[in-house]
């Protein structure tokens, strides 16, 4: 069910209606509000204001267009720069990986030389390693071994000898025994190569751990970024560089020599992005080495495509502005008509065309407004009304008289509850929003006054076409007592309270009202738990069919069974679903339970046919939700295709109430079911004029009459009319059979104390009938 919400208005001090019938009166002329009145009299000032302000509106529209264009351009520019920044970040991450890999490869060379030297210094031959391809000039510009005195012992580059590097940092640092790893120096001018190179060195030790010298791998400054810049999309003016932690630049590229030397912040090693002049820069720390990398993209390169798009945007905006100015006069006429139509549409969208009260849309809007205006609890109430015997008026005088009744009730409600917002929720249901007077501490006094007024309204009989009808109502009230209660919660609780009042009205035959209580909330909780229990039973295979015999009223012969779905408990008892557990569209069990019941019926009919049992029909009653919301015809077609049988012994009871609530959809459902060749009967047959009109549809082959569905004074004549038309009648109680003459077209459902399972039903079907 879709919930609506109602409008809350302030009380204007109107006196509550008295419950004495003699003092109850109405001012229908002043209370009646029609759509024509509201739509043809919009505020005159607003209309003229719109005409006067049309040029200003045009200017505002143009301003909005230009603001939109400029905002869009600004957004596009920010997005382009953001994408460029993201690209720089990705490239910086890639450069970190590239640098780690490159230095690791160099470190491998230094480690191999170190291991060979420390094992046997005389066995190290750098030239032989180079000739063997262990390293080349591309991977290592120069590899040297330096003794403890700082003299170069070997080098891959020929030299005259007598070269010392004692003063170099990459040699002096290794004299300290605590520096055992790879040391990376800032670029220095090589004394052997004569080039600016990066020195990567490792300490050499004797077998007893004393300092024996260093192994130095010299790399060209372009080596660290050469392979990266060849494949990275840095743009025409972009650059990538590697720095030591002290800010010394190692690589040789287009970036400026200055460096910040600041280490990256954060867990991911990222530095804050810095934009210098025309550059977008990203910095990263190399986790494994005392280095950080910098990738820079030129802002002018990044914005080149954006500048072209900007020219297109601005040109389009200029053209649009010119055309807009040319058609200002035409727009003025359209705005004038729009102002007239807008009020009309608003009224139509929020007003019920029959009663001129708020409709669901209007009620939702009003109730949302009131919830926003009433932050305190116990300051807002929803009163839900349901007319109890509108169906009697429709069956007796027709639906046109029923519409007249709704109009009269609406006028009375508007007159008697004028301080509050009233709306027609749908059908014969109304909603009233109650708020307290300024003098009231909470909404309860105002709610009591509203209920007294409603009760007084329905104590007055309604005259329609010379007939007097005593209309009763079921009233449910919910109070916003919790801050989390929203529109749907308030209306659902009021609806549940209304159904509780309707249950009382069945026995009292008077207007009843109920407040939503904690007991009802607990009942809702139990419904959720029962739904879960039923869902578990369905998944665990603990569902069964129960069988109630259908006997011929004259011969007492069993001619079929009405089936129901039941849960098999641990003790072996069968608990019918409709008696203890509920299925509906909200808990998601409607479709699965319907499919289960249909499938089991088909399996049962086929098994009985194979076992040679007497032909029997199986009847399944559909409730309103199943019939309207589940495509039963589609399920049956799938079962017929699966089991390859004709479902002529499959009987479905379709509820009569569905044809009154949803006539078009119900007619479609019946036509679809009849096409599957199942037998259809009209359930809860009332025997009224509209009910017999439904039997004009030849697709309905019989009716089902319950204890409460058909009045006792028309039961006999109703059964005779149905059987005379060639249809069958199925009675749901023994008391009804006593009022009906014996007829071969009439059967009765025998509700036994114990629920029969499939095997017991077969035995009963084969058992001969006692004379």
Which pLDDT belongs to residue 256? 40
Which pLDDT belongs to residue 19? 33
pLDDT band at 585 (very low <50, low <70, confident <90, very high): low
How is the beta sheet containing 279-286 ordered, strand by strand? 239-244, 291-298, 279-286
Q: Which two tokens stand for residue 61?
A: 């529209």
Q: Which two tokens stand for residue 1?
A: 């069910």
Dist. CA 63–CA 42, nearest whole Å: 29
Q: Which two tokens stand for residue 593?
A: 């339970």
Contact 565, 596 (CB under 8 A): yes
Q: For a pLDDT cut of 90, what percent of the chain falls above it?
A: 18
More confident residue, 336 or 129: 129
Q: Work out the average pLDDT over 301-309.
A: 87
List of residues 6+ apart from 468 with CB closer than 8 A: 461, 462
Q: What are the residue ranges of helices labelled H in 259-398?
A: 299-302, 304-326, 328-350, 360-373, 390-397
pLDDT in tens, 31-81: 333 333 443 344 455 556 666 777 777 788 888 888 988 998 898 889 988
Q: Work out the average pLDDT over 475-488.
A: 88
Q: Work out the average pLDDT over 103-122.
A: 88
Predicted confidence (pLDDT) at residue 265 exceeds the cutoff of 50: no
Q: Work out the average pLDDT over 161-179.
A: 85
Domain positions in the chain: 21-33+356-516, 542-766
Which pLDDT belongs to residue 12? 27
State the CATH architecture for 542-766. Answer: Alpha-Beta Barrel (3.20)
Q: Are strands 429-434 and 462-464 parallel, antiparallel or unpaired?
A: unpaired
Which pLDDT belongs to residue 768? 64
Q: Which two tokens stand for residue 749?
A: 């459902």
Which pLDDT belongs to residue 23? 32
Q: Work out the average pLDDT over 410-434.
A: 91
Which pLDDT belongs to residue 276? 55
Least confident of 85-94, 411-420, 533-542: 533-542
Which pLDDT belongs to residue 670? 93
Q: What's the first-to-final CA gap in the chain, in angstroms?
A: 51
| Helix, strand, coil percent values for the chain (each to nearest 5) | 45, 20, 35
Dist. CA 526–CA 532, nearest whole Å: 10
Predicted confidence (pLDDT) at residue 608 exceeds the cutoff of 90: no
Dist. CA 405–CA 415, nearest whole Å: 15
Average pLDDT taken over every residue of the chain = 80
Q: Which two tokens stand for residue 265?
A: 């912040």
Dist. CA 662–CA 113, nearest whole Å: 91
Q: What are the residue ranges of helices labelled H in 622-694?
A: 624-629, 632-643, 656-661, 663-674, 689-694
Q: Work out the average pLDDT over 374-397.
A: 85
pLDDT in tens, 552-576: 888 888 889 999 988 887 777 777 7
Report domain 21-33+356-516's class: alpha beta
Predicted confidence (pLDDT) at residue 671 exceeds the cutoff of 70: yes
Dist. CA 283–CA 261, nearest whole Å: 10
More confident residue, 261 or 623: 623
Is 0.75 topped by the overall pTM? no
Q: Work out the average pLDDT over 442-467.
A: 89
3-state secondary structure of 297: strand
Q: For a pLDDT cut of 70, what percent of the chain falls above it?
A: 87
pLDDT band at 669 (very low <50, low <70, confident <90, very high): very high
Which pLDDT belongs to residue 532? 80
Dist. CA 593–CA 581, nearest whole Å: 12
pLDDT band at 407 (very low <50, low <70, confident <90, very high): very high
More confident residue, 501 or 43: 501
Which pLDDT belongs to residue 32? 36
More confident residue, 395 or 477: 477
Tokens 């609806």, located at residue: 495
CA dihedral of 411, 415, 416, 418, whole degrees rounded to 10: 120
């Amino acid at each position: 069910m879709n919930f609506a919400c109602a409008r809350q208005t302030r009380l204007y001090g109107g006196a509550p209606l008295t419950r004495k019938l003699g003092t109850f009166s109405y001012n229908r002329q002043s209370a009646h509000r029609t759509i024509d009145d509201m739509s043809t009299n919009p505020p005159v000032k607003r209309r003229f204001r719109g005409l006067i302000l049309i040029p200003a509106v045009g200017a505002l529209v143009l301003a909005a267009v230009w603001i939109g264009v400029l905002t869009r351009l600004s957004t596009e520019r920010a997005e382009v720069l953001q994408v460029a920044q993201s690209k720089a970040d990705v490239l910086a991450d890639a450069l970190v990986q590239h640098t780690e890999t490159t230095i690791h490869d160099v470190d491998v060379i230094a480690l191999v030389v170190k291991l060979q030297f420390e094992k046997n210094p005389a066995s190290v031959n750098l030239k032989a390693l180079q000739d063997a391809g262990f390293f080349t000039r591309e991977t290592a510009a120069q590899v040297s071994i330096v003794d403890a005195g700082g003299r170069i012992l070997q080098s891959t580059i020929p030299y005259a000898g007598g070269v010392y590097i004692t003063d170099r940092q990459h040699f002096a640092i290794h004299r300290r025994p605590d520096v055992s790893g790879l040391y990376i120096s800032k670029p220095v001018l090589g004394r052997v190569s004569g080039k600016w190179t990066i020195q990567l060195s490792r300490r050499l030790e004797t077998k007893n751990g004393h300092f024996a010298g260093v192994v130095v791998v010299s790399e060209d400054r372009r080596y660290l970024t050469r392979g990266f810049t060849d494949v990275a999309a840095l743009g025409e003016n972009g650059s990538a560089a590697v720095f030591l932690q002290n800010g010394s630049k190692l690589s040789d590229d287009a970036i400026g020599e200055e460096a910040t030397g600041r280490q990256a912040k954060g867990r991911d090693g990222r530095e804050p992005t810095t934009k210098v002049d025309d550059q977008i820069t990203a910095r990263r720390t190399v986790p494994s080495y005392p280095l950080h990398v910098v990738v820079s993209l030129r802002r002018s390169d990044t914005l080149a495509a954006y500048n072209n798009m900007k020219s297109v945007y601005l040109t389009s905006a200029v053209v649009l502005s010119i055309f807009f100015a040319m058609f200002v006069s035409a727009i003025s006429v359209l705005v004038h008509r729009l102002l007239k139509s807008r009020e009309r549409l608003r009224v139509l969208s929020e007003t019920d065309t029959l009663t001129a009260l708020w409709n669901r849309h209007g009620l939702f809007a009003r109730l949302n407004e009131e919830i926003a205006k009433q932050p305190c609890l116990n300051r807002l109430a929803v009163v839900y009304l349901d007319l109890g015997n509108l169906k009697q008026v429709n069956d007796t005088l027709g639906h046109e008289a029923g519409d007249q009744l709704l109009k009269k009730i609406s006028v009375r409600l508007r007159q008697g509850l004028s301080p509050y917002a009233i709306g027609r929720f749908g059908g014969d249901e109304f909603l009233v929003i109650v708020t307290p007077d300024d003098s009231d501490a909470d909404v309860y006094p105002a709610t009591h006054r509203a209920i007294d007024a409603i009760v007084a309204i329905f104590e007055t009989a309604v005259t329609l076409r010379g007939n007097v009808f005593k209309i009763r109502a079921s009233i449910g009230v919910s109070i916003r007592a919790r801050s989390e209660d929203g529109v749907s919660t308030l209306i659902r609780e009021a609806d549940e309270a209304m159904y509780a009042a309707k249950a009382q009205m069945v026995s009292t035959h008077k207007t009843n009202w109920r407040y939503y209580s904690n007991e009802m909330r607990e009942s809702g909780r139990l419904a959720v738990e029962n739904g879960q229990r039923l869902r578990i039973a369905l998944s665990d295979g603990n569902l069964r069919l129960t069988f109630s015999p259908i006997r011929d009223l004259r011969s007492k012969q069993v001619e079929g069974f009405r089936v129901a779905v039941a849960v098999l408990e641990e003790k072996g008892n069968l608990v019918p679903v409709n008696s203890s557990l509920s299925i509906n569209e909200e808990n998601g069990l409607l479709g699965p339970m319907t499919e289960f019941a249909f499938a089991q019926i088909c399996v049962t009919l086929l098994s009985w046919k194979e076992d040679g049992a007497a032909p029997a029909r199986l009847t399944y009653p559909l409730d309103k939700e199943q019939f309207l919301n589940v495509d039963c015809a589609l399920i049956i077609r799938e079962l017929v295709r699966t089991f390859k049988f004709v479902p002529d012994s499959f009987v479905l009871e379709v509820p009569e109430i569905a044809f009154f609530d949803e006539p078009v959809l119900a007619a479609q459902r019946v036509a679809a079911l009849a096409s599957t060749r199942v037998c259809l009967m009209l359930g809860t047959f009332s025997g009224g004029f509209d009910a017999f009109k439904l039997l004009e549809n030849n697709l309905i082959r019989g009716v089902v009459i319950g204890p409460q569905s058909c009045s006792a004074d028309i039961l006999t004549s109703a059964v005779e009319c149905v059987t005379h038309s060639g249809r069958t009648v199925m009675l749901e109680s023994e008391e009804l059979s006593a009022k009906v003459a014996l007829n071969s077209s009439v059967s009765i459902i025998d509700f036994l104390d114990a629920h029969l399972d499939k095997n017991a039903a077969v035995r009963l079907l084969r058992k001969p009938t006692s004379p």
